[in-house]
């Protein structure tokens, strides 16, 4: 029996349709915030009850009920879901039959049942006997806001959903069976090609966006600089490179390691800060378009001054492939001293913001353990400076303990709303295109370089 291939499509024999249900585990894309979902898939298979050797028959897979409804997080747009799947062929023959459906679905609101198109596959029969058809693994590709795949596999033995009685009508019966190698349709981004003979064994998944990486700068090493408040005339104050380990909260990677350098340029009584991280701080969790990933960091003040300074970097200029090392762009902000004396600047919480359309995920990565200051400055208190200015909350201090009540230095950035509550972050993670089912945690981002 050859799975796929050319031949006349059998239409004369009456068709049969039967439902089969089986327990299923669905694994979402790498970007995610919730566990894998386990549910029951109900499939109806349709195929001719009888056929002859040499016939090519059409098999139809109708998903009566998916393993999960659409979660309460994202409304799925019309015609954004493409199903593919595999049927096991058994009995008098053995092999697999690839199934594929068009990207056709109604708009699916949050918490509503998933409705996907029927999948079809063509099977050429080359051996007489009773052949069984059993639904197996399947995949759902969502094209918006980015192309992602949710893969579902049975977790129990599945019963056959259809049986075809194949008779030899005087022709020669080919001994044994083979699995076909004809080319199936592929999905690229949001375009689909449906129908045709599918490739045996395997599913079709959407291709990810051609990637690049942000051009991050390598860090420069220098001694801790003690600058004059204004008498020496020095304006540039290079910081030293320090090693930092970050522990990220869900749905982010568990740990990120990087070298960080804080440089300052004096302008009047304030300092323009530039913060550099090492290249390849983390791997992209999924295929992300340009402008989707943006870093920021809280620079912790110590010594004479207290509080923190927020620095932000631009979003990635190029698209990122899944697994591509990410070079964070330089982050900048303005430090306005609130105290006179020797003030230190140290790396603090690193925040990774991922934005797709109106959906935003903020992942805070806090400093793990102690870290040395990257820069020391001789500061002169400025009106409205860090100490005695307003604050958004407690800030971790590298000098020990937690500084609370200290002011938040002027940053030059308007986006103070990017740090969000962890509870909201975890629930929002599946909005990155894989909201067909609930998802597994953001897979390990190997960030130490």
Q: Name which residue leads in pLDDT, 86 or 199.
A: 86
In the chain the first and final C-alpha atoms are separated, in Å, by 52
Mean pLDDT of 372-392: 77
pLDDT tens figures, 137-176:
999 988 877 777 788 999 999 999 999 999 986 544 333 3
- Say whether pLDDT at 76 is over 90: no
**How many angstroms separate the Cα of 11 from the Cα of each of 14, 15, 49, 52, 135?**
8, 8, 11, 12, 22
Spatial distance between the Cα atoms of 398 and 438, rounded to a whole number of angstroms: 39
- Say whether pLDDT at 385 is over 60: yes
- Say whether pLDDT at 190 is over 80: no
Q: How confident is the model at residue 213 (pLDDT cuts 50, 70, 90)?
A: very low
What per-residue confidence (pLDDT) applies to 214?
A: 38
Strand partners, 148: 142
User: What is the domain partition of the chain in residue ranges?
Assistant: 15-207, 226-418
Phi and psi based region of residue 415 (left: phi greater than 0; alpha: psi -120 to 50; beta: remaining): beta
Of 247-256, 279-288, 362-371, give the range with the top mean pLDDT: 362-371
What per-residue confidence (pLDDT) applies to 36?
A: 84
- Secondary structure letter of residue 274 according to DSSP: E
Q: What is the pTM of this model?
A: 0.44
CA-based nearest residue to 144, from 177, 181, 192, 111: 192
- Say whether pLDDT at 390 is over 60: no
CA-based nearest residue to 119, from 77, 79, 60: 60
What per-residue confidence (pLDDT) applies to 6?
A: 35
CA triple 68-73-75, angle to 5 deg: 85
Lowest mean pLDDT among 1-5, 12-16, 251-255, 391-395: 391-395
pLDDT tens figures, 399-447:
333 333 333 333 333 333 333 333 333 333 333 333 333 333 343 333 3
Mean pLDDT of 108-129: 92
Lowest mean pLDDT among 42-56, 121-135, 300-314, 430-444: 430-444
What per-residue confidence (pLDDT) applies to 34?
A: 58
Pick among 2.60.60, 2.60.40, 2.40.160, 1.10.10: CATH of 15-207: 2.60.40
Spatial distance between the Cα atoms of 18 and 362, rounded to a whole number of angstroms: 46
Mean pLDDT across the chain: 73
Whether residue 251 has a cis bond before it, omega within 30° of 0: yes
pLDDT tens figures, 323-376:
788 889 999 999 999 999 999 999 999 998 888 777 788 889 999 888 999 999
- Say whether pLDDT at 12 is over 80: no
What per-residue confidence (pLDDT) applies to 74?
A: 77
Contact assessment for residue 141 and residue 206, using Cβ atoms and an 8 Å cutoff: yes
Spatial distance between the Cα atoms of 63 and 120, rounded to a whole number of angstroms: 12
Contact assessment for residue 363 and residue 249, using Cβ atoms and an 8 Å cutoff: yes
Long-range contacts of 9-15 (CB under 8 A, 24+ apart): 9/56, 9/57, 9/58, 9/122, 10/48, 10/51, 10/55, 10/56, 10/57, 10/58, 13/48, 13/49, 13/50, 13/51, 13/57, 14/48, 14/49, 14/50, 15/46, 15/47, 15/48, 15/49
Q: How confident is the model at residue 287 (pLDDT cuts 50, 70, 90)?
A: confident
Element (DSSP H or E) covering residue 142: strand 129-142
Whether residue 145 has a cis bond before it, omega within 30° of 0: yes
What per-residue confidence (pLDDT) applies to 417?
A: 32
Strand partners, 124: 2, 56
String of b and e for 83-121 (b: at least 16 CB within 10 Å)? Answer: bbbbbbbebbbbbbbbbbbbbbbeebeeeeebbbbebbb
Give SS3 for 351.
strand
What per-residue confidence (pLDDT) applies to 445?
A: 34
Spatial distance between the Cα atoms of 242 and 82, rounded to a whole number of angstroms: 48
Contact assessment for residue 335 and residue 438, using Cβ atoms and an 8 Å cutoff: no
Spell out where 143-213 has E strands: 148-154, 162-167, 187-188, 191-192, 206-207
What per-residue confidence (pLDDT) applies to 44?
A: 94
pLDDT tens figures, 97-118:
999 999 999 999 988 888 999 9
Mean pLDDT of 221-234: 49
Mean pLDDT of 270-276: 96
- Say whether pLDDT at 272 is over 50: yes
- Say whether pLDDT at 94 is over 80: yes
Q: Name which residue leads in pLDDT, 238 or 187.
A: 238
What per-residue confidence (pLDDT) applies to 393?
A: 34
């Amino acid at each position: 029996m050859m799975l796929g291939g050319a031949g006349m499509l059998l239409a004369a024999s009456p068709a049969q349709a039967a439902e089969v249900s089986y327990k299923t585990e669905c694994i979402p894309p790498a970007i995610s915030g919730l566990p894998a979902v386990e549910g029951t898939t109900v499939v109806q298979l349709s195929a001719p009850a009888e056929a002859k050797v040499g016939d090519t028959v059409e098999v139809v897979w109708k998903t009566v009920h998916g393993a999960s409804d659409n979660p309460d997080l994202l409304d799925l747009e019309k015609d954004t879901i493409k199903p593919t799947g595999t049927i096991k062929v058994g009995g008098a023959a053995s092999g697999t039959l690839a199934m594929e459906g068009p990207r056709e679905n109604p708009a699916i609101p949050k918490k509503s049942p998933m409705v996907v198109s029927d999948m079809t596959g063509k099977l050429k029969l080359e051996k007489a006997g009773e052949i069984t058809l059993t639904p197996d693994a399947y995949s759902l590709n969502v094209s918006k806001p980015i192309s992602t795949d949710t893969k579902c596999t049975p977790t129990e033995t599945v019963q056959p959903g259809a049986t075809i009685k194949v008779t030899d009508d005087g022709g020669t019966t080919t001994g044994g069976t083979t699995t076909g190698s004809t080319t199936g349709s592929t999905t690229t981004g949001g375009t689909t090609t449906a129908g045709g003979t599918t490739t045996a064994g395997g599913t079709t998944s959407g291709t990810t966006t051609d990637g690049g990486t942000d051009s991050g700068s390598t860090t420069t090493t220098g001694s801790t600089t003690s600058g004059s408040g204004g008498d020496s005339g020095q304006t540039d104050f290079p910081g030293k490179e320090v090693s930092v380990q970050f522990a990220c909260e869900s749905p982010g990677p568990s740990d990120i390691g990087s070298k960080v350098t804080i440089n300052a340029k004096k302008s009047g009584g304030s300092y323009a800060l530039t913060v550099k991280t090492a290249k390849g701080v983390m791997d992209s969790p999924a295929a992300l378009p340009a402008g989707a990933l943006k870093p920021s960091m809280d620079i912790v003040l110590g010594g004479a001054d207290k509080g923190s300074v927020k620095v932000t970097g631009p979003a990635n200029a190029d698209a990122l492939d899944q697994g591509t090392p990410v070079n964070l762009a330089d982050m900048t902000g303005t430090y306005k001293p609130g105290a006179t004396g020797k003030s230190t600047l140290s790396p603090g919480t690193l925040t990774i913001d991922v934005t797709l359309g109106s959906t935003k995920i903020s992942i805070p990565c806090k400093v793990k353990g102690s870290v040395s200051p990257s820069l020391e400055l001789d500061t002169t208190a400025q009106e409205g400076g860090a100490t005695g200015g307003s604050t958004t909350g407690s800030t971790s201090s590298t000098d020990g303990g937690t500084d609370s009540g200290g002011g938040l230095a002027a940053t030059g950035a308007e986006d103070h709303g990017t740090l969000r509550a962890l509870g909201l972050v975890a629930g929002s993670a599946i909005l990155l295109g894989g909201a067909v089912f609930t998802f597994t945690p953001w897979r390990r981002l190997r960030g130490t370089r």
